[in-house]
Amino acid sequence: MATSQNIQYLVNTGKDEFGATVSIKTASDRRQIETFLAGAAITAGDWVAFDTTATDAGRVLTVIQASAAFALGNPLVCGVALTSQATAGGTVDVVVSGYVEGANVAAAVAAAGVALVVDNTAAGRAVALAAADTAPACGVSLEAAGVGNTCDVWVLKQF
């Protein structure tokens, strides 16, 4: 079932059961998460794409780690895996729009504001969008890549 985008919660603080002020803002206040079937093993933080080896409508219900077989960007990228799935056939939550902490990016993403695309560098890993890329940007970095080739990103909605 698709997630709702009808309500945006903008309050930053609230009261807990003891009356103390607590932060209640979360990353989910500005993102959309969809559940897909995993076509293969997927690790949280990987960029994922529709699985064109599936049949019929299964091609847009099933995702795999975004392939690095596209030299000019992978146009099938649909988001970043929020959860890991070790086997094909299980479910995986994917952020299809909005904030993701610790997405898989190339170490060369050296600043915030870099448009991202998954090309032929490494499967599941985004790199800086190049002028020659024909696929649209799938996200934007919110910081420079850190240890382990990860950074916080904003996923651009593709569908």
- pLDDT tens string 65-111: 999 888 999 999 999 999 999 899 999 999 999 999 999 999 999 99
- The predicted pLDDT at position 156 comes to 96
Q: Encoding tokens for residue 80?
A: 């970043």
Contact 98, 155 (CB under 8 A): yes
* pLDDT above 70 coverage of the chain, percent: 89
Asked whether the predicted pLDDT for residue 122 surpasses 70, the reply is: yes
Q: What is the pTM of this model?
A: 0.85
Structural contact between residues 102 and 150, judged by C-beta atoms closer than 8 angstroms? yes
Cα atoms in the 13 Å half-sphere on the side-chain side of 62: 17
Please say if the pLDDT value at position 1 is more than 50. Answer: no
Contact 86, 38 (CB under 8 A): no
Token pair recorded at residue 20 = 């103390």
What percent of the chain is modeled with pLDDT above 90? Answer: 71
